[in-house]
Amino acid sequence: MAIETVRNYLKSWGRDQDIIEMERSTATVLEAAASLGLIPARIAKSIALSQGDRVAVVVIAGDMKLDNRKYKDRFGVKARMLSPEEALRGTGHAIGGVCPFGLPAEVAVYLDSSLKRFDTVFPACGSSNSAIELTLEELNEYSHSQAWVDVCKPIIAIGG
């Protein structure tokens, strides 16, 4: 079970007991925000992407989406989200629980600058009903992030 992988992974920092497991789903940004009583932007959404023959995870604020132009300019490839099967195979986490922790060593993690508006954010922990509150410094350290990037744009609501 992926949450146990993440729990063991976070034990290195003494944070394994800080994982929040909820009765309700946190698989989507809106579900996670409602379950945690937060604004959606503070959910740290992890997106599993193909970068040619390797997998990358980009962590972005919950009120953002990938900007294809920025992504291609930064990484030199078109953004292609992994299918649920590819995400599970490539990250060890199922969609809804993909997170930047406990990943195979070859998976590169990037943190988007959209997260920098907050003192703390809430990424998933390997299951569709888990999260942990982390400072940006903790997120950067625990995820072994390759770099801070700027590859997102705001989600624009329909009719607004």
CB 60 within 8 A of CB 66: yes
Q: Domain tally for the chain? A: 1
Residue 48 covered by a domain: yes
Residue 26 within a domain: yes
Q: Is residue 60 part of a domain?
A: yes
Question: Parallel, antiparallel, or unpaired for β 120-123 and 134-135?
Answer: antiparallel
pLDDT mean over 19-36: 95
Domain carrying residue 148: 2-153
Q: Is residue 72 situated within a structural domain?
A: yes
Q: Is the dihedral angle over the CA atoms 147, 94, 19, 45 positive or is it negative?
A: positive
Decide if 144 is inside a domain: yes
Q: Note whether 63 and 73 are within 8 A (CB).
A: no
Q: For the domain that residue 103 is a member of, what is the CATH number?
A: 3.90.960.10
Residue 160 in any domain: the answer is no
Per-residue pLDDT tens over the stretch 79-101: 999 999 999 999 999 999 999 99
> Is 159 within a domain?
no
Query: Would 158 be classed as within a structural domain?
Result: no
pTM: 0.95
Instruction: Write the burial class of residue 123 (CB in 10 Å: 0-12 exposed, 13-18 middle, 19+ buried).
Output: buried
Report pLDDT digits (tens) over 122-148.
999 999 999 999 999 999 999 999 999
